[in-house]
Amino acid sequence: MPLDGKHALITGSSRGIGRGIALKLAEHRVGIAVHYYQNERAANDTLAEVRKRGSDGFVVQADVSRPDEIKQMFRKVQTQFKTLDVFVSNARPEVPAFFQAPLDITLAQWDTAFDSQAKAFLVGVREAIPLMSGGGRIIALTYAEGSRTGGLQPWVGMGSAKAALESLVRYFAVALAKRGITVNAISPGWTENSVLNTLPPQAQDLIRNWHVRGWTPMGRLGTPEDVGNVVTLFCSEQAGWITGQVIYADGGASLMNPEVPPEIQLG
Ligand SMILES: NC(=O)c1ccc[n+]([C@@H]2O[C@H](COP(=O)([O-])OP(=O)(O)OC[C@H]3O[C@@H](n4cnc5c(N)ncnc54)[C@H](OP(=O)(O)O)[C@@H]3O)[C@@H](O)[C@H]2O)c1
């Protein structure tokens, strides 16, 4: 679809990857509903950048782990935009709200992960559909490594929630196929200017060096702009035959074999 004049809601677009997605779509003159949770100033900064790129939009606040707030968010989208073409479910709570190993995770932390991912997507998609027509695009941000591995123990809540999210993507893809609406997930690798930058500097260095040393064959971490480009591709008319997929956007990191050091694999 020509993107000019379309409307998108991107949850968690005040910062990080969501912001990168908002700004890439704005370059294509897509109107943007910039969603935030607590950081209104960052959301307003994103909106100012959207406008600098020749597009427009508004900011909207909601806790996506609360279905009533998701519904209010979509009422505002309906009032402002009337219709919606792109819904990107990207928001994710701060790491301490869910980061706990399987033997210790509290039910509140578990609920935070599931409510903000699987349940938020279930509710959000059902709110988005009445505003969408044929050619609509629904995209979820996942972290597929966390949904299929077990090594990073305190990721159990979010990993399990992302697995449920990816499953929902497939079920909704079938449910919405006849309406011409596609539903897909994007799985970025570690990305600069996002949650990574909230980790202790030593952890950031370890992660960056590991990827630059070879775990990411392209030799760098991703950026929010990289992910924004992938969302833009999904929003094109030419992507209309792709639905129900989890697409890795990670410079090849997911192709590496965890049993062999990167130096040997890369030759
Ligand atoms: N960063 C990575 O390396 C990476 C890798 C793979 C997948 N991902 C996925 O990409 C997505 C974005 O990650 P990120 O690292 O870019 O995030 P981030 O920089 O930590 O930003 C999180 C965003 O979510 C919002 N948010 C936080 N809690 C919320 C809540 N309860 N309700 C609604 N919104 C809430 C924040 O709003 P405020 O600004 O108002 O707080 C912010 O806009 C996530 O789904 C993540 O799992 C990230």
Query: How many whole angstroms separate alpha carbon 130 and alpha carbon 136?
Result: 11
pLDDT in tens, 52-102: 999 999 999 999 999 999 999 999 999 999 999 999 999 999 999 999 999
Q: Is the pLDDT of residue 135 over 70?
A: yes
Query: How many whole angstroms separate alpha carbon 79 and alpha carbon 130?
Result: 13
Given this model, what pLDDT does residue 267 score?
A: 72
Query: Tokens 């000019």 sit at which residue?
Result: 4
C-beta separation of 10 from 57 below 8 A: no
Q: Residue 39: CB within 6 Å of ligand 1?
A: yes
Which residue out of 66, 94, 165, 194 has the highest number of ligand 1 atoms within 8 Å of its CB and is therefore the one to mutate?
194
Please give the angle made by the CA atoms of 24, 84 and 91, to the nearest 5 degrees: 60
Q: Report yes or no on whether pTM surpasses 0.95.
A: yes
Residue 110 lies in a domain: yes
Q: Residue 197: CB within 6 Å of ligand 1?
A: no
Residue 152 lies in a domain: yes
pLDDT in tens, 171-186: 999 999 999 999 999 9
Residue 92 lies in a domain: yes
Residue 262 lies in a domain: no
Residue 204 lies in a domain: no
Average pLDDT of the chain to the nearest whole number: 96
Residue 15 lies in a domain: yes
Structural domain total, the chain: 1
| 11 CA: nearest ligand 1 atom | 34
Q: Residue 12: CB within 6 Å of ligand 1?
A: yes
Residue 63: CATH number of its domain? 3.40.50.720
Residue 50 lies in a domain: yes
130: alpha, beta or left, given left = phi > 0 and alpha = psi -120 to 50? Answer: alpha
Q: Residue 19: CB within 6 Å of ligand 1?
A: no
Q: Largest Cα–Cα distance in the chain?
A: 57
Which residue out of 195, 207, 223, 225 has the highest number of ligand 1 atoms within 8 Å of its CB and is therefore the one to mutate?
195
Q: Residue 63 — φ and ψ, nearest 5°?
A: -90, 110
Range of the domain at 20: 7-198+223-252
Burial class (CB in 10 A: 0-12, 13-18, 19+), 156: buried
